[in-house]
Amino acid sequence: MAQLKFAIVYYSSTGTNYNLSKMAEAAAKANGAEVKLMKVQELAPEAAINGNPLWKAHVEATKDVPVVTLADLEWADAVLFSMPTRFGNVPAQMKQFLDTTGGLWFQGKLVNKVVSAMTSAQNDHGGQEATILSLYTTMYHWGAIIAAPGYTDPVIFSTGGNPYGTSVKVDQEGKMTQDVQPAVAHQVKRMLDIAAKLNA
């Protein structure tokens, strides 16, 4: 069977979702996939970025990470999205990219892509589930196959218990308060297992 193509598309202002994406990249490579890790274009004004030292440092640290293109979506068998919650919704940066996919959608090139999502917030009920479900609404329109982790492995219970996708709480210093790496690894493996069955 051909090597599966796994895309990780993230938005991160201060680094949490970049770090989640790096965990996913390692897991996908460990499972034999060809992997692309890409960010969506930053849209925030420089004044906002420069006013937050963590945000400014992260933008500088990830300046060489490629920006995702529509061709990357077409290339992938599976796409994992990662983004922080913005008032229980998808960040504008991610939404803007999703809103450019109409041409691929119209041509049917997003049908049966295996997709899943991860997110973060600063408190336990900061909109994590709503953010992931908001993203999945677009995926339903694509005709994609949503590979939510559900409760398909005991690791879900010990890493926050979110059946829609890995989510993590972040403290005031921007550090994750849980070790969600096992949940990320399981979510990635589940996506690849489903993609392999679809491609068989």
Q: Where are the domains of the chain?
A: 5-199
Distance, CA of 163 to chain centre: 15
pLDDT for 89: 94
Kindly report whether the global pTM for this prediction surpasses the value 0.85: yes
- CA separation (Å) from 105 to 20, 41, 65, 87, 101? 27, 20, 26, 27, 6
Contacts of 166 (CB under 8 A, 6+ apart): 20, 118, 119, 149, 159, 160, 180, 183, 184, 187
CB of 89 closer than 8 Å to CB of 133 = no
Mapping DSSP to helix (H, G, I), strand (E, B) and coil, where does residue 200 land?
A: coil
Query: Which stretches in the chain have pLDDT values below 70?
Result: 1
User: What pLDDT, on the 0 to 100 scale, is given for residue 152?
Assistant: 96
Tell me the CATH architecture of domain 5-199: 3-Layer(aba) Sandwich (3.40)
Model pLDDT, residue 112? 97
SS3 86: strand
Tokens of 182: 């096992």
Distances (CA, A) of 198 to 84, 138, 167, 168, 191: 29, 21, 26, 30, 11
pLDDT score at 171: 87
